Structure 1
Amino acid sequence: MFRITRRAAAIAAAALLLPVSVQALPVATADPAPGGARITNIEKVNDRWDKVTVYSPAMNKEIVNDVHKAPGAGAPTFYLLPGIDGGDNLDPGGSWAPGSKSWFGMTDIAGFFANKNVNVVSPLGGQFSWYTNWVNDPGKQYQTYMTQELPPLINAQYKANGRNAVGGLSSTGGTAVDYAVQAPGVYRAVGSYSGLLNPADNPSQVSMTLMGGGVSADNMWGPGGGPLWIAHDPSKNVEKLRGVAIYAAASATGDVGEVDRLPQNFGGNFSGGFIERIVAESTRVFADNAAAAGIPVTYVVRPNGSHTWGLFESEMQESWNTTIGPALGG
């Protein structure tokens, strides 16, 4: 579950993964964030694209983050979480460079945000972490990283205005929404792109996904369906999202469509379609619970799309135009 087929990903990446050269830059940053998080290196890919390495005290390791810089100071910041693979190719026989099966490698970040005054930041790594805090793995404390350590550093380094939004795809779609539950005020807008928004009701699906990486979901939030699962379930915490701009989308059918950007005569993306139907039902449950509580959600049911990067990119762009951009003043 929540895996993109190698063939589909390769096709989607073919026109986007171009060789780039990077130039290490001297690091002249503002003071470290509270707790000792700090920028340790910046590599310049081009005039608008930096690769920023951050030391995370919570996990005692360095994390590389792609940053598409706003054209001017005083801009908001839009964070995009990677999928279950952390931006790397997990399928055997693939030839992607590390970190290239990611938002900056698989979608046209530079083109879409070229004329938009916003910093776009996407962390790399964190395979099979759900991008949350694990109770039994100190090396997986990504909620702390994304809500406490990284944003202050980005705000200082790029002279951002402190208005933040976050979106996630597939396994991290629900996590992006959960950040607004767990850390009120950090993210004023959230987006779920074909994400699982009721994990407490689907512990077996989460467990199977994490088993693909050889890890146990019990080490994440404890036994499936327990108190921590409920605490991290957006569908069961909609009241805590009051005042947050929310976008949630999925394809109801899971059928292959033009949005997937697959070649003609590709056929059915059966595994992707199966996953998409699961997350579509999950998204519906979340939207229904939010509506019952009077929480506004931009809820979009796509007519087709089979859990591919083409679908995720289209959902992300739509979220910016309808929900996230307006919430950030973009």
Structure 2
Amino acid sequence: MKLRKFGQLVTGVMLATVLGLPAAPAVAEPGPAAAGPAAADSGAKITDERWVDDRTVDVTIDTPGVTSMDPQARILVPKGWSKDATRTWPVLYVLSGGPDTYTIWSEKTDIEETALGDDVIVVMPDSGKGGGFVDWYNGGKGGNPKWEAFHTRELSQLVERNFRGSTTRAIMGLSSGGSGALMYATRNPGFYKYVASYSGIAHITKPGIPTIMLLSDVIDGATENPDPYGKLGDPLWDRWNWLEHDPYVNAGNLRGTGVYLSSGTTGLIGQLDLGLKEVIDEKEGDLTEVAKAYAAGSISEKVIGMTNEDLAARLKAMNIPTTVHLYGDGLHSWPWWNREYKLAWPMIMKALGV
């Protein structure tokens, strides 16, 4: 029987050759499926990867810790980088503020140009709409969203497992992202080699600050949850949770980590701020919005400056080396942050060994 089948096969191949017919294709042996991006320990995974250019890639992440959205991140890779490289690169994580998205640093600063000259991976992630850079308290029940877990565990694991990132890390942020960077560094001692905060609240349990933070969420309307107590709980009844997240209270955990603190302190218009005509143009002639912009930029920076003075004094008293740049006049605005991050950049790169 086997010989007969073999003969039939040979005859078929010969006929196909003579008549010019294609022979039956060989059937490939089944092999292992192509491996996708490596997941984080929690199961968070990269679901989309879009290269903007040869040094810039945007990724989308599906995470069980943030179900309201699939966070995205922009990753800048250095010259000579490759997924197949045998080496790894240090990583700088860059946090935005308020309701801004992961592209805001690229839009408002020249960070992509700044990063070109250094052998470092830069990661700029989403942080939700007023997400607070915490794993939400939710009345003591916990649960979604878990922004701290996403940024400090899931995102770092994804970068290290898929983009050749190393465990030599630094973090910086502006506004609420500056506060978030300080929270992450104090709550995860030794996780980052350097932390830089530009106009971030540095003492969240300072009298009056919790009320300002809660009112800001209510007035802004940019938070993911309409409950203003959702992030950290009630400042009185859940004070322990606020204290656990306060960079000022936990300042001792910054020992061994490089620190850069900057903000305005007077709430007055400074030399880098936009002029009245520029703001009017930006707000399309809406004088009410112009007044709101100036008021918010002035009051918020003065209050933030007070909290930075507190943390700077505490770190000095604890003999923890800190670079402090409290520059006086200046509103809560991008021109200042664009300057400040570039002043801190050489110190961050040195801490990363670049």
Q: TM-score higher than 0.5 here?
A: yes
**For 1:289, which of 310, 314, 320 is the aligned residue?**
314
Residue 41 of structure 1 pairs with residue 51 of structure 2: no
Match status 1:168 vs 2:186: no
How far apart, CA to CA, are the structure 2 residues paired with 1:69 and 1:29? Answer: 20
State the shift of 1:265 in Å: 5.2
Q: CA deviation at 1:109?
A: 1.6
Equivalent of 1:246 in 255, 259, 272: 259
Instruction: List aligned pairs for 1:192-271, cutoff 5 A.
Output: 192-201=197-206, 202-211=209-218, 212-213=220-221, 215-225=226-236, 226-260=239-273, 262-263=274-275, 266=278, 269-271=294-296
Question: SS at the partner of 1:163?
Answer: strand
Report SS of the residue matched to 1:72.
coil
For residues 71 and 80 of structure 2, the distance between their equivalents in structure 1, rounded to whole angstroms, comes to 25
> Which secondary structure does the structure 2 equivalent of 1:178 belong to?
helix
Spell out, residue by residue over 1:89-125, the C-alpha distance to the aligned partner (whole angstroms, 9 max, x if none): xxxxxxxxxx55x112111121111111111111125
Contact 2:48–2:59 at 8 Å: present in 1 too? yes
Q: 2 CA distance for matches of 1:28 and 1:318? A: 42
Tell me how far apart the structure 1 counterparts of residues 80 and 97 of structure 2 sit (CA, whole Å).
29
Work out the CA distance in 1 between the residues paired with 2:197 and 2:327. 13
Q: Which residue of 1 aligns with 2:156?
A: 151
Q: Which residue of 1 aligns with 2:340?
A: 315
Letter in 1 for 2:52: V
Q: Output the CA distance in 2 between the equivalents of 1:172 and 1:245.
A: 17
Runs of 4+ in 1 over 6 A off after TM superposition: none
Equivalent residue number for residue 120 of structure 1: 122
Q: CA separation of 1:194/1:28 partners in 2, compared to 1, >3 Å: closer, same or farther?
A: farther
Q: Does structure 2 conserve the Cα–Cα contact (< 8 Å) formed by 1:250 and 1:280?
A: yes
TM-score, length-scaled by structure 1: 0.82
Match of 2:98 in 1: 84
Aligned CA distance change for structure 1 residues 55 and 28 (closer, same or farther; 3 Å): same
SS of residue in 1 equivalent to 2:205: helix
Give the alignment's Cα RMSD to 1 decimal: 2.1
- Unaligned 5+ segments in structure 2 are 1-33, 82-87, 280-290
Tell me: CA distance 1:319–1:150, structure 2 relative to 1, closer, same or farther (3 Å).
same
C-alpha distance in structure 1 between counterparts of 2:200 and 2:130, whole Å: 15
Separation in structure 1 between the aligned mates of residue 118 and residue 155 of structure 2, nearest angstrom: 22
CA separation of 1:84 and 1:124: change in aligned 2, threshold 3 A: same
CA contact 1:131–1:140 (8 Å) conserved in 2: no
Where 1:207 maps in the other structure, the secondary structure is: helix
**Equivalent position of 2:348 in the other structure:** 324
What fraction of aligned residue pairs are identical, expressed as a percent? 28
Q: Is the contact made by 1:80 and 1:167 (CA closer than 8 Å) also made in structure 2?
A: yes
Relative to 1, partners in 2 of residues 1:42 and 1:205: Cα closer, same or farther, differing over 3 Å?
same
Whether contact under 8 Å (1:259, 1:314) holds in the other structure is no
- 263-272 vs 226-235, which moves further: 263-272
Task: Give the whole-Å Cα distance in 2 for the aligned partners of 1:209 and 1:77.
Answer: 32
Per-residue CA deviation, residues 145-189 of structure 1 (Å, 9 max, x unaligned), is 011100011122221222111112112212111112222332221
User: What's the CA shift for 1:58?
Assistant: 1.8
Deviation at 1:264, TM superposition (A): 7.4
The 1-side partners of 2:35 and 2:174 are apart by 33
Alignment length, in residue pairs? Answer: 290
Deviations 1:7-48 (A, max 9, x none): xxxxxxxxxxxxxxxxxxxx9755212121211111111111
Indicate the SS of the match to 2:166: coil
Q: Which runs of 5+ in 1 are unaligned?
A: 1-26, 88-98
SS in 1 for 2:53: coil
| Cα distance in 2, alignment partners of residues 282 and 178 from structure 1 | 14
